[in-house]
Amino acid sequence: MRNGYDPFARGPFPVGVRTVELAREARPLPAELWYPATDEYAGQDVAEATRDRYELIPGFPFVWQEAVRDATPRRGRHPLVAFSHGYGGHRRQSTFLCTHLASHGYVVAAVDHTGNTMLEVVQGVMTLQSGGTLPHPDTVLREFVVLRPADVSFTLDHVLGMDGLADPERVGMAGHSFGGWTTLTATARDRRIRAAVPLAPAGGASPLPVDLLRQSLDFRWDREVPTLYVVAERDSLLPLAGMYELFARTPSRKRMVVLADADHLHFCDRVEESHELFRTMPQDPLFEHIQKAIPPITELVPGERAHLAIRGLAVAHLDAHLRGERAAARLLAGDVRAALAERGVAATVV
């Protein structure tokens, strides 16, 4: 890009990662922490032999992320971004974004919202397959509309308390789906958050039984928080009409980018695998009619193309509003649609 600023490209810093075992009121909250590492790790975060590998679910194949486990953090107080996973997600669900942010000099903290993670979903599928039943979604939602925003603030407290790592004056937040709702809710409640990137957030009109999320959102923010929505044109779970509804309720300054031919799981790692797994796995009867409407992945934009857009837009938004980066502000104020088209990504910008 002109002037050398390119938020879409991986940043100049090698990325480190560590797991922090937190607990709030005896509830375990494991958190993943990504950060810019020292130069001695250059290239090791992306090399197959040295990048981090981890077991997502016991007994399942290992997966990888572009970071070096327990690398030495780079000196300095870095801007901090909290990330919140979706309903049935997990703290490492979007490493494509979290590691990219860290490569641009951000500390990123993602907590497992224990009780609302992938592990509980897998256990739920096993319960259904054995003829059991699951709690009504409203029961789960009522618990986690309270727990999730508190989890975020608790995690921010911990990371900002780590000596010299993160800057308390430069805090942002991103999250996907229920984590997008969590982003909007935490932003309303925690004044430390100064920029927000909700990704396909819950809380708008949807075929899912999530009216409680819509009713519980409070957009009477007591300060201006620049907000960038990135959403999917063909979202089967949280349709586009609901995104426009949420966007209309959000205070200015705000912008929304709609990724063409993307669905709900384009905001997660391993898009193709995750999309087809969700499309074909056994579901609670409440979700069966939605599942039947999900298009095959071959009809949708490739995951890596969507990831390219999400990464670059998030970095630009946070750079503009947490760092005062003028080139980022110019990019966002300009023809974002054309900038994405140059990279092979079709989108609508609101």
Residue 335 has pLDDT above 60, yes or no: yes
Q: Are 27 and 44 in contact (CB under 8 A)?
A: no
Task: List, in sequence order, every residue forming a beta bridge with 231; answer none if it has no partner.
Answer: 258
Residue 326 to residues 4, 148, 292, 295, 320, Cα–Cα distance (Å): 12, 33, 46, 40, 6
| Res 250: pLDDT | 98
How do 52-55 and 347-349 pair as beta strands?
unpaired
Residue 279 has pLDDT above 60, yes or no: yes
Across the chain, mean pLDDT equals 94
Q: What residue type is assigned to position 116 of the chain?
A: N
Residue 193 has pLDDT above 60, yes or no: yes
Residue 224 has pLDDT above 80, yes or no: yes
Q: Cα separation of 123 and 172, whole Å?
A: 33
Q: What percent of the chain has pLDDT over 70?
A: 97
- CB within 8 Å of 303: residues ≥ 6 apart: 266, 270, 271, 272
Q: Cα separation of 34 and 159, whole Å?
A: 11
Q: Are 89 and 269 in contact (CB under 8 A)?
A: no
Tell me the average pLDDT across 191-219.
93
Residue 56 has pLDDT above 90, yes or no: no
DSSP 74: P
Q: Cα separation of 291 and 82, whole Å?
A: 30
Q: Are 240 and 258 in contact (CB under 8 A)?
A: yes
Print the domain residue range for 221.
2-349
Between 56 and 27, the more confident residue is: 27
Q: Which two tokens stand for residue 121?
A: 């979903």
Domain count, the chain: 1
Tell me the average pLDDT across 13-25.
97
How do 347-349 and 254-259 pair as beta strands?
antiparallel
Residue 345 has pLDDT above 90, yes or no: yes
Give residue for tokens 């409680």: 212
Residue 2 has pLDDT above 70, yes or no: no
Instruction: Quote the pTM value.
Output: 0.95
Residue 268: burial class (beta carbons within 10 Å; 0-12, 13-18, 19+): buried
Tell me the average pLDDT across 6-25.
98
Q: What counts of helices (H) and strands (E) characterise the chain?
A: 11, 12
Between 52 and 121, the more confident residue is: 52
Q: Which pLDDT band, with edges at 50, 70 and 90, does 59 fall under?
A: confident
Lowest mean pLDDT among 35-44, 223-232, 287-296, 339-348: 287-296
Residue 285 has pLDDT above 70, yes or no: no
- CB within 8 Å of 29: residues ≥ 6 apart: 22, 23, 111, 112, 113, 114, 151, 154, 155
**CATH number of the structural domain spanning residue 195:** 3.40.50.1820
Tell me the average pLDDT across 162-172.
96
Residue 105 to residues 28, 79, 168, 217, Cα–Cα distance (Å): 28, 7, 15, 31
